[in-house]
Amino acid sequence: MVTFGDVQDAARRISGRVLRTPSVPSHALSKATGADITLKLENLQAVGSFKERGAANRLALLTPEERARGVIAVSAGNHAQGVARHASLLGIDTVIVMPRFTPVAKVTRTAAWGARVLLEGNDFTEASLFARDMQQREGRIFIHPYDDPGIMAGQGTLAMELLEDSGPQDALVMPIGGGGLLAGCAVATRALSPATEIIGVQVESYSSLARFPAEEITPPGGPTIAEGIAVTTIGRLTSEVIRRDVSKVLIVTERAVEDAITLLAEGARQVSEGAGAAALAAVMTYPDLFRDRRVALPVSGGNVDTRILANTLLRAMLRDGRLLRLVMEIPDRPGILADISKTIGDAGGNILEVSHQRLFAAPSVQAAELEVLIEARDPGHADQITDALRETYIVRRV
């Protein structure tokens, strides 16, 4: 079992190798949620994630003989980059096994830290089997992403820093993948602030602890924006700590994670990946649990694909009324588009996209269908733009 002494030793071991990230109060998030929010900005780490902490500590624990044998890890993202970076700093030969369909950007970033990347298997399970076989054949040291005391102790330094910098908190909210971050931080929190409630968060498609503290269940799995915590079963070692120290596990939806990414970007000016926003998603989803309480949570990672981030922000704007999609039936004659543009402009709207269909969608050969995407200030402004157009045209909001 990992002890607070292990976390303290890890903090000394990784000092100077891993950034002591800032713990900052967020007035915008506090106003939006009703809680007193403090963020631990792990998205500022060199590899953009807290995973550096555990990797740096575990690799520093290797003996000279183990370093000479080299290491191997399996990961589709942040653990891979953390191991690759710190193994490179220590001069350790490193192999990272990633599933065959891992996004090119993640493969490139991992290789850039000096690791040899092998793309094997159609999913994480198949990649893990290949990595274990290679580890046995070549005698390398396997660096587990979460179920390892050295990894857990390293991750626990996050909570140690947070509590030292920000003082006692009423609640600490952490995402759960394999459980390494939550377990390590629970150990540190129990020692430094025993009154703090420790809460875990899972996304619904990977909610193995949905009945916590009852037995684990098999989640449905599938695509998720929170791929960093897309783990079907938590670790054996991490489970022991979580069941001892964690008070509850909250489940959040995909939409809640998207909304949390948006609030972090617009309110806190922080870029977060899905897993990194899961803790905030829980605070937003269960406001009665956190209202008027001091709540600390990590932005645990910022490695989000730019296309996914852009689409997430646009989807959020569409849901809250700041993006307005209108379909209009219009006469097919000169000057109509100019008139529509003027009406929207006079109402203060900003046209982002126009699709004009004459041949297939229009009900009459003398008519056309126009689809317009408009940026509005807020839902009330969107209604004003729609009403102005309806004075002249048949308008449908979609």
Q: What is the dihedral of CA 26, 28, 187, 157, to 10 degrees?
A: -40
pLDDT attached to residue 333? 82
pLDDT tens digits, 191-207: 999 999 999 999 999 99
Q: How far apart are CA 337 and CA 310, in angstroms?
A: 28
CATH number for 322-397: choose from 3.40.1190.20, 1.20.1250.20, 3.30.70.260, 3.30.360.10. Answer: 3.30.70.260
> Residues in the chain with pLDDT < 50?
none
pLDDT tens digits, 108-150: 889 999 999 999 988 777 888 999 999 999 999 999 999 999 9
pLDDT attached to residue 383? 93
pLDDT attached to residue 125? 79
Q: How far apart are CA 190 and CA 245, in angstroms?
A: 7
pLDDT attached to residue 183? 98
Contacting residues for 306 by C-beta, under 8 A, at least 6 apart? none
The DSSP element (H or E) to which 15 belongs, if any, is: none
pLDDT attached to residue 99? 87
Q: What are phi and psi of 354, to 5 degrees?
A: -135, 135
CATH number for 1-320: choose from 3.30.420.270, 3.40.50.2300, 3.40.50.1100, 3.40.50.10710. Answer: 3.40.50.1100
Question: Residue holding tokens 């629970």?
Answer: 186
pLDDT attached to residue 363? 56
pTM of the model as a whole = 0.90
Question: Which residue out of 51, 106, 128, 239 is catalytically annotated?
Answer: 51
- Reply yes or no on whether 300 is catalytic: yes
Question: Residue holding tokens 């780490």?
Answer: 45
Same fold, 1-320 and 322-397: no
Contacting residues for 154 by C-beta, under 8 A, at least 6 apart? 10, 14, 53, 54, 55, 56, 57, 58, 184
pLDDT attached to residue 366? 62
pLDDT attached to residue 334? 85
pLDDT attached to residue 365? 54
- Write down the domain spans for the chain: 1-320, 322-397
- Reply yes or no on whether 40 is catalytic: no
Degrees (nearest 5) of the Cα angle 169, 170, 176?
A: 85
Nearest alpha carbon to residue 164 among 199, 188, 198, 182: 188
Contacting residues for 338 by C-beta, under 8 A, at least 6 apart? none
pLDDT attached to residue 124? 77
